[in-house]
A and B are shown apart, each in its own frame.
Chain A
Amino acid sequence: MTKPVVSLAQVTIRFAGDSGDGMQLTGDRFTMDTASLGNDLSTLPNFPAEIRAPAGTVLGVSSFQLHFADHHVQTPGDAPDVLVAMNPAALKANIKDVARGATIIVDKDEFTTRNLAKVGYETNPLDDGSLESYKVHAVGLTSLTVAALSELSLSRKDAERSKNMFALGLLTWMYHRPTESTEIFLKAKFANKPDILEANLLAYRTGWNYGETTEDFSVTYDIAKAQMPPGKYRNISGNSAMAYGLIAASQRSGLKLFLGSYPITPASDILHELSKHKKFGVISFQAEDEIAAIGSALGASYGGALGITTTSGPGVTLKSEMIGLGVMLELPLIIIDVQRGGPSTGLPTKTEQADLLQAMFGRNGESPVAVIAPSHASDCFAIALEAARIATTYRVPVFILSDGYIANGSEPWKIPDIDSLPDMRVEFAKTQEDFLPYLRDPKTLARPWAIPGTKGIEHRIGGLEKADKTGEISYEPANHDLMVRARAAKVAGIEVPDLVVEDPSGDATVLVLGWGSTFGPISAAIEGLRNDGERVAQAHLRYLNPFPKNLGEVLNKYPKVIVPEMNLGQLAMLLRAQFLKDVISFNQVRGLPFTTAELMETTMGVLHA
């Protein structure tokens, strides 16, 4: 390194290009290299639903944003400090998010008259002055890559495809990231394609050298390690953490993991991940549809397995009737809804939290289930264990409401010590005389988990109303009333930890209460407000049904409670209904997480109303 080094506290970089440009891979690699340097980080992949939307169009732009710092990071960052735009469409789609003064690196080879016209640029923004207030580096990413690979016997098209590695090499140089792990990664990925491997490695190294030698880039940047609790770390996405959590639950409970699933964005990666781990005894069953997926999970659960189904909103809709059966049969069942924009097919690749009321009420009859939600990507590990605890202890369907942001976003995760995980062993009903399949445990109100193969307790269950204790069919009015209330009481009585309120000054009058993936953005906003001297309290709900026992008390303590949600006020509706508290809803459904800035602004408005 020969160029001056500037130290920064944090940087947000966005890689943007055509769906076919490999931006997700580029972002992933930069993330891994950044994580291993010890920076804290948070990521936001954002891609179109189409696998290959028309090339060069704004619709087809795929991006990956990464925020990394020498301190604790809560969000993927509001506005990028650096935008890498692989073509005019990527510039057009992203420029509105880039603050003036920020750095923009573009592939100038792609700024042809034709490509510019395709996205409606009448003049070339690289020389019409419209980017004057940015630091623009117009680099011939394509031509430099092709020139570097000219010795290889590759078609021009194949050579061009390595330009993302050129860009990655350049950024790696700029931010002093290590190169070894990406080289190892490429060698593994293209082990069977030596030509492509050589091209990628060469492009990557050429990009790095380009930074070092060209005058266009005069400084490099260094971001010191973040202070993190000591331990061993890895970077993990929400979906991977969820899959690991489910495997951990299976190992700690001794129950066979049975996943019944039907592919759907953004949940499929949990199915993919679990399918890789059959040596843990995992059975992953790709069913013919969502109904069969959950049906098979319930059947497995009936047989004594940990029955799980993974899906997104449209799939939940199809599963409703089977969830109702799970409520009636009082068997453990885990339903993971990785929420996306709705209704209907909606926005398959964008995030939203609008399935809360569906999870709560989307079934016929009085049909209570437990509902919990992870707060951030690595929290999915813990939430999966928690879902298994509730499902097996109370013999009840449990919803996990993750979402696209949590599922695809990633962050460093301190790898837990296996021995610190809870012991989750369960007891099945044993051989006995006069077995009563619906005799409730006085403490949990759960009925016995009575699995086939156990001598002497043969019995029949089903979706028709059950008689108390015997479980026989009953149409008795008083019995139905009793059983409806018993099922409700069981769910209401699930033990969950109290809500923790963070109120450092101790005298805040405004509480910001969130749930699910808004945790990061809200935390960042609160931190910003407190740094500005504001007094504001924060609490975050992981348990949505039942709510923590102290929630009413918390709501009463704060005159004003702001509830930010990526829906039109679903948690707010539940809070109003249950606690008669007129909370202040703050909502947006743009398919993206809240920005720190908008949350700060809204909270400021309430603080100083």
Chain B
Amino acid sequence: MPDVALTKKDFTSDQEVRWCPGCGDYSILSTMQAFLPELGIPRENIVFISGIGCSSRFPYYLETFGMHSIHGRAPTIASGLAISRPDLTVFVITGDGDALSIGGNHLIHTLRRNVELKILLFNNRIYGLTKGQYSPTSEQGKITKSSPLGSLDTPFNPISLALGAEATFVARSVDSDRKHLTEILRAAAAHKGSALIEIFQNCPIFNEGAFDIVKDNDTKGASLLHLNHGQPIKSETHGLIRENGALKVVALSGVNETDLVIHNAHDDDPAYAFALSRLSGSALDYVPVGIFRDVERAGYGSLVNDQVNEIIAKQGAGDLSQLLNSGDTWIVE
């Protein structure tokens, strides 16, 4: 524990923040800076590692250790660090292009291994830094500089992808909802292995209004389906029921509160969380936010280090001279 409790200011670096005015990244940064003191972890034991993209500038603005690496590869660097330094708390900051396009392979393998990393995926559904091309989360038909007639790609749903990749902690939040995002960060920090948090992030320059439906006071009440473990899943107007084995969103007016699905984030079967993830398509009419899945599985770094420690406990620490002198040897007089 640090000698004196740290404050938000202690986690704010002296670098000038350089995102566009109104960018959703600002509120995520501010939420993170305000949240970090609560962890009670000394600044020097926290590391932020990012890839490339607007979002990946994040580490510069935090008074911790940080690395702005190369496009898509942050999970690889962070894995090497987290595995070899289990004493550190390591965050990965990535964008939808960074994590799902160029770095897709690393993301899925990091999640299946369950490396002790907290991965924040800033999803603005666009390539921001390269000035507005469609991304792997852009809706089909999106008009961008590189898709003047509409993009043809079917998008990824990052939550579904993460669940398919055996992730043990998968959540979604929204840039502007400080309170909600803080709760999710808290839960992710408490989770032992990999945590993936998709954060809807507005890019007012190249994808303005992409998440209006879940942010506007007029629509968000109906649209946001809150996932709270042990609580019924519902928005202000709608709720989730099970019908013929499938999940279905219905108007609250038409059902009994007791018919609503009670959220179980610890369900061993990922099919349930996957079904939840499918409720929101590109259109975002009904969007579950919160923790989809939070199950326990040994973290990769601890497995690696346990294996090393066990063999040392059994056979003793390696002796270099013994190693070099092993096998068939002979003496020349």
Contact = CB atoms under 8 A, between A and B. Distances in A.
State yes or no: do A and B come from one complex. yes
Contact of A302 (B70, B81, B328, B330): B81
B330 A453 contact: no
Contacts of B64: 458
Interface stretch (A71-79, A231-239, A569-577): A231-239
Given A35-B328, A298-B80, A452-B81, A289 B67 contact: no
Interface in A275-314: 277-283, 285, 287-289, 291-305, 307
A455 B44 contact: yes
Q: Classify chain A's interface size.
A: 35 or more
Given A35-B330, A325-B70, A460-B59, A299 B320 contact: no
Contact of B85 (A234, A260, A324, A452): A452
B83 interface: yes
A32 B328 contact: yes
Contact of A295 (B47, B62, B80): B80
Contacts of A233: 329-332
A515 to B, nearest CB: 27
Contacts of B266: none
Which of B13, B43, B79, B312 has the most chain A CB within a 10 Å cutoff?
B79
B324 A244 contact: yes
Q: Classify chain B's interface size.
A: 35 or more
A104 to B, nearest CB: 29
Contacts of A462: 59-60, 66-69
Contacts of A307: 80
A292 B45 contact: no
Contacts of A472: 15
Given A299-B76, A452-B44, A461-B67, A234 B328 contact: yes
B243 interface: no
Which of A229, A233, A300 has the most chain B CB within a 10 Å cutoff?
A300
A295 B115 CA distance: 14
Given A280-B318, A283-B84, A299-B81, A181 B44 contact: no
Interface stretch (B200-208, B212-220, B287-295, B303-311): B303-311
Interface string B64-93: 111111100101111111111101100000
A36 B331 CA distance: 9
B49 interface: yes
Contacts of A234: 324-330
B283 interface: no
B254 interface: no
B64 to A, nearest CB: 5
A2 B1 CA distance: 81
Given A453-B45, A453-B88, A459 B65 contact: yes
B155 interface: no
Nearest to B11: A458
Contact of A296 (B79, B311, B332): B79
B80 A297 contact: yes
A181 to B, nearest CB: 6
Contacts of B69: 295, 325, 462-463
A277 B308 CA distance: 9
Contacts of B299: none
B8 interface: no
B333 A463 contact: no
Given A244-B323, A299-B76, A415-B325, A305 B84 contact: yes
Contacts, number: 209
Contacts of B130: none
A131 B66 CA distance: 71
B322 to A, nearest CB: 10
Interface in A447-478: 452-464, 472-473
A152 interface: no
A452 B46 CA distance: 8
A283 B304 contact: yes
B316 interface: yes
B98 interface: no
B70 A279 contact: no
B25 interface: no
A460 B60 contact: yes
Nearest to B105: A288
Interface string A422-465: 00000000000000000000000000000011111111111110
B42 interface: yes
Interface in B37-67: 42-45, 47, 49, 52, 59-60, 62-67
B229 interface: no
Contact of A299 (B13, B44, B68, B80): B80
Contacts of A280: 317-318, 320, 323
Contacts of A277: 318, 323
A38 interface: yes
Contacts of B325: 232, 234, 415
B75 to A, nearest CB: 8
B321 interface: yes
B319 to A, nearest CB: 9
A329 B320 CA distance: 32
Nearest to A32: B328
A288 B318 CA distance: 28
B248 interface: no
Interface in A182-238: 225, 228-235
B88 A302 contact: no
B258 interface: no
Interface of B: 13, 15, 42-45, 47, 49, 52, 59-60, 62-70, 73, 75-85, 87-88, 105-106, 109, 304, 307-308, 311-312, 315-318, 320-321, 323-333
6 contacts: A38-B330, A234-B325, A295-B73, A305-B85, A324-B70, A325-B70
Given A280-B323, A305-B84, A453-B87, 18 more contacts: A225-B332, A248-B320, A248-B324, A260-B80, A278-B312, A292-B109, A295-B77, A295-B79, A296-B76, A296-B83, A297-B80, A298-B77, A303-B81, A415-B325, A460-B59, A460-B60, A462-B66, A472-B15
